[in-house]
């Protein structure tokens, strides 16, 4: 009896939808592979300062080499077209260091545009994008952003409008300080030497210099690079051991049903986020994708009208628990205050024969009906059939999308 009660509660749809999860998040930490040389792999991000400078700049285009940790901080206006970003990248990075093999970034519109993808393909660069709303996957740039903000606080004026004038100083300070991940300064590893700093004349340099373009110079640099790689490997191992203590492996498979955190979906106007359900769904897992360093991402069959990118990291999902042990259990979803139910999606259609009226004339055309799945209802038995005319009064956008994506495609296949 106790086990039946526990199973009944665990498979309660309302409980699964509304209650927050207290377990460790899904997705074990899996760092990206360490590049073999500087310039091979980059990470990119756009940092919004939320302050427009005297010269009209507001954003910082952050480019960081994933091996040497060398960074370029490039000022940008609040809005910048993709063509402008591509030109900045070529002028501020490619001109000096060449083309990278790969670029790690989030899914900012500047990195997901077709123009950016075409430019990357043209230069033979692989784009590795993290899943949406998951900044942890691009941790290097997130740490860099915090470092830039911390340094800017020390040097800008109280009105903050001169931040872009201090950006060169901030970049110099960062690139010339020993980085904890590699054990040397980014400048010394990226440029093969340590640039002279303004206060170096106060400290005598007793280290012997090695002549560039010699075997001895190459040997010393390769040794420094290998030590940096070993330093990164140790740091990664320590981070994996620490982080995975508070994570769980994700075991979702294609075909499973999962809940998606409501925070990952668009918020309706006038609706309190705090009083919303914790999760929406359940929806089917279509594919396992992504190169996120802390676990897999999944393609979810979300309703088309939500207009949300359908790839979600494992930490944004929860398993859907169901059982056939209680066949007589009625729908556990509470009735709405206004007696209305939200449509989740159209899942099927059919043509219904219309009886010919008495008399002569052509027979009437069959009426189109759509099978509707309601939001938060998981049992297919609760789906209902409606005529096109009925749905056009309450959900015209969903009907239009279904006719565009499904019916039009089937007509084209029949024509072919």
Pick the more confident residue, 77 or 388: 77
287-301: pLDDT as tens digits: 988 666 666 889 998
Please state the pTM of the whole predicted model: 0.68
310-346: pLDDT as tens digits: 888 888 898 888 776 666 666 555 544 344 456 778 8
Homologous superfamily of 41-243 in CATH? Ribonuclease H-like superfamily/Ribonuclease H (3.30.420.10)
Asked whether the predicted pLDDT for residue 390 surpasses 90, the reply is no
Return the H-helix or E-strand segment holding 153.
helix 139-155
Residue 391 makes CB contacts below 8 A (sequence gap 6+) with 343, 346, 370, 372, 398, 399
Pair 60, 75: CB distance under 8 Å: yes
Plot region of 230 (φ>0 → left; ψ -120 to 50 → alpha; else → beta): alpha
220-229: pLDDT as tens digits: 888 889 999 9
Question: HSE on the CB side for 315, CA within 13 Å?
Answer: 20
The DSSP line for 66-133 is TTT--EEEEEE-SS--HHHHHHHHIIIIIHHH---SEEEE---HHHHSHHHHHHHHHTT-EEEEPPTT
Domain ranges for the chain: 2-24+249-319, 41-243, 343-415
Burial class (CB in 10 A: 0-12, 13-18, 19+), 250: buried
Fold of 2-24+249-319: SH3 type barrels. (2.30.30)
Question: HSE on the CB side for 73, CA within 13 Å?
Answer: 28
pLDDT number for residue 187: 92
72-109: pLDDT as tens digits: 999 999 888 999 999 999 999 999 999 999 999 988 88
Give the pair of three-digit tokens for residue 168.
Answer: 């060169």
pLDDT number for residue 44: 94
Report the C-alpha gap between 416 and 405 in whole angstroms: 17
pLDDT number for residue 331: 57
């Amino acid at each position: 009896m106790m086990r039946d009660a526990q199973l009944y509660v665990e498979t309660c749809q309302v409980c699964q939808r509304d209650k927050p999860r207290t377990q460790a998040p899904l997705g074990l930490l899996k760092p990206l592979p360490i590049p073999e040389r500087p310039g091979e792999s980059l990470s990119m991000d756009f940092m919004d300062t939320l302050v427009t400078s005297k010269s009209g700049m507001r954003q910082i285009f952050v480019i960081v080499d994933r091996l040497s940790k060398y960074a370029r901080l490039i000022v940008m206006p609040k809005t910048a077209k993709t063509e402008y970003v591509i030109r900045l990248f070529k002028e501020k990075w490619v001109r000096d260091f060449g083309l990278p093999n790969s670029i790690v970034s989030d899914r900012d519109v500047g990195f997901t545009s077709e123009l950016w993808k075409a430019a990357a393909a043209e230069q033979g660069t692989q784009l590795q994008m993290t899943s949406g709303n998951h900044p942890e996957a691009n941790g290097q740039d997130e740490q860099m952003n915090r470092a830039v903000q911390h340094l800017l606080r020390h040097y800008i004026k109280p009105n903050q409008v001169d931040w872009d004038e201090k950006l060169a100083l901030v970049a110099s300070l960062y690139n010339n300080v020993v980085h904890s991940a590699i054990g040397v300064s980014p400048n010394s590893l990226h440029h093969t030497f340590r640039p002279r700093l303004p206060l170096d004349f106060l400290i005598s340099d007793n280290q012997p210099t090695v002549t560039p373009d010699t075997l001895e110079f190459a040997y010393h640099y390769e040794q420094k690079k290998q030590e940096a790689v070993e330093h990164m490997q140790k740091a990664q191992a320590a981070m994996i051991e620490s982080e995975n203590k508070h994570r769980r492996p994700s075991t979702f498979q294609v075909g499973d049903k999962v809940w998606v955190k409501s925070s990952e979906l668009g918020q309706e106007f006038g609706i309190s986020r705090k009083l919303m359900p914790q999760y929406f769904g359940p929806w089917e897992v279509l594919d396992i994708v992504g190169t996120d360093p802390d676990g897999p991402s999944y393609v979810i069959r979300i309703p088309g009208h939500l207009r949300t990118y359908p790839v979600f990291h494992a930490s944004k999902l929860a398993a859907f628990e169901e059982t056939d042990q209680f066949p007589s259990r009625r729908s556990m979803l509470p009735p709405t205050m206004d007696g209305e139910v939200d449509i989740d999606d159209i899942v099927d259609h059919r043509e219904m024969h219309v009886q010919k009226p008495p008399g002569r004339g052509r027979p009437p055309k069959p009426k189109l009906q759509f099978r509707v799945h309601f939001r938060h209802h998981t049992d297919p038995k609760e789906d209902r059939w409606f005529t096109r005319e009925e749905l056009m009064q309450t959900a015209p956008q969903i009907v239009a999308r279904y006719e565009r994506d499904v019916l039009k495609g089937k007509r084209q296949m029949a024509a072919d």
